[in-house]
Amino acid sequence: MREENLVIIGAGPAGISAALYAVRASASPLIISKGIGALQKAKKIENFYGGAVSGQELYENGVNQARDLGVSFLETEVLGMEEVEEGFQITTPEGIIHTQSVILATGSRRSAPKIPGLKELEGKGVSYCAVCDAFFYRKKKAAVLGNSDFALHEAEVLSNLAAEVTILTNGKEENFSRECPFPVETAPIARLDGEKKLEGVTFEDGSGIGTDGLFVALGTAGSAEIARQMGAELTEKGHVVVDSQMQTSIPGLYAAGDCTGGLLQISKAVYEGTVAGIEAAKYVKSKKNKIEKEN
Ligand SMILES: Cc1cc2nc3c(=O)[nH]c(=O)nc-3n(C[C@H](O)[C@H](O)[C@H](O)COP(=O)(O)OP(=O)(O)OC[C@H]3O[C@@H](n4cnc5c(N)ncnc54)[C@H](O)[C@@H]3O)c2cc1C
């Protein structure tokens, strides 16, 4: 198992700013990131300090600046995270990483697909967190909506309790980096069935399956999904709740940038990343001092 002191998930303005300040506060952060964040999607930015620049250029400048300061990067996807003794355990396709502190900086939550019945059946069979809700599907049928490693990870968590688990890709191609041991249904979904509780899924070709639960696990795990797995507090809109030090409701777990809601702007992500980096570095230092005193 890889051991780290501070892991930052996300290489956007929040994650990079957190790393720049954490290094200056004597921490040695590891940035884990995979895929394109909001910054790289912005063609031209005209309202950030310093003048017009493309999002891709700003992203590359930030990553190079952090690399020059000695920040380590790992290009992989975070699939899940749990609180363990003396810190957190992060699951990635490359293996497990143990760390004392984590900064969530994965950008804003992805929107759920517009499948008729999905919104209405939230909490009545539709869930967004296998670790949190798998227990309710003990010896029952469950399905996971998604087509990537995140969906596979959620299916594995469910399979410890559910009688059977099926992955539904909703018309997308399977995109798993390893063999998927679960049945996969790729047909596009027409609707979810059931009124008081989820009863099944009907596909566009008229066929269907019965299921007691549907777990939404699209794309990669965002901060909301990771925070939910950990039991950290979220707002009704799925933003991570933080205090003025950018600490979540779990000590040692920080969040910054679009994932905390409010203004979805670079300036806010940079500020929050700055605070999170300084505070997480302080947290790691105080833990180290405590361990040294005890020994
Ligand atoms: C088209 C567009 C135009 C915009 N224009 C402007 C503008 O003009 N001015 C302005 O101020 N703001 C603009 N924004 C908003 C701005 O880009 C965001 O507010 C800012 O990028 C948020 O920074 P962040 O670090 O929180 O998240 P992001 O920039 O979204 O970075 C998130 C990071 O997390 C990584 N990540 C996510 N999930 C995982 C996972 N499970 N495992 C590993 N890595 C993961 C991603 O790869 C990425 O590196 C624009 C946004 C868009 C989409």
Ligand 1: which atom is nearest the Cα of residue 14?
Answer: 25
Rounded percentage of the chain residues whose pLDDT exceeds 70: 99
Alpha carbon nearest to ligand 1 atom 1, residue: 42
pLDDT tens figures, 150-208: 999 999 999 999 999 999 999 999 999 999 999 999 999 999 999 999 999 999 999 99
Instruction: Provide the 10 A C-beta neighbour count for residue 268.
Output: 18
Atom 2 (ligand 1) nearest CA: 42
Distance CA 217, CA 154 (A): 7
Mean pLDDT score of the chain, rounded to an integer?
93
List the residue whose alpha carbon is closest to atom 4 of ligand 1: 42
Q: Does 101 have pLDDT greater than 90?
A: yes
Domain boundaries, the chain: 2-109+222-294, 126-216
| Statement: the pTM of the whole predicted model exceeds 0.85 | yes
Task: Give the fold, CATH level 3, of 126-216.
Answer: FAD/NAD(P)-binding domain (3.50.50)
Buried b (16+ CB within 10 A) or exposed e, 147-157: bbbbbbbbbbb
Please report which confidence band the pLDDT of residue 45 belongs to, taking 50, 70 and 90 as the band edges.
confident
Mention the CATH class of domain 2-109+222-294.
alpha beta
| β-sheet bridge partners, residue 203 | 189
Q: Can you give the pLDDT at residue 109?
A: 65
Same topology for domains 2-109+222-294 and 126-216, yes or no?
yes
Given a cut of 70, whether residue 115 has pLDDT beyond it is yes
pLDDT surpasses 70 at 111:
no
The residue to mutate among 21, 109, 264, 272, having the most atoms of ligand 1 within 8 angstroms of its beta carbon, is 264
Query: Mean pLDDT, to the nearest integer, of 117-145?
Result: 92
pLDDT band at 28; cut points 50, 70, 90: very high
Does the pLDDT at position 39 exceed 70?
Answer: yes
Cα within 13 Å of Cα(256), Cβ side: 33
For the chain, give the percent of residues with pLDDT over 90.
80
**Which residues surround ligand 1 with Cβ inside 6 Å?**
9-15, 32-35, 37-39, 41-42, 45, 47-48, 77-78, 105-107, 220-222, 257-258, 264-267, 269
Minimum-distance ligand 1 atom for the alpha carbon of 44: 8
pLDDT of residue 24 exceeding 70: yes
Residue 214 or 50, more confident: 214
Q: Return the SS3 of 51.
A: coil
pLDDT at 219: 83
- Say how many Å lie between the CA of residue 270 and the centre of ligand 1: 11
Angle (CA) 97 100 102, round 5°: 75
Q: What's the count of helices (H) and strands (E) in the chain, helices before strands?
A: 7, 15
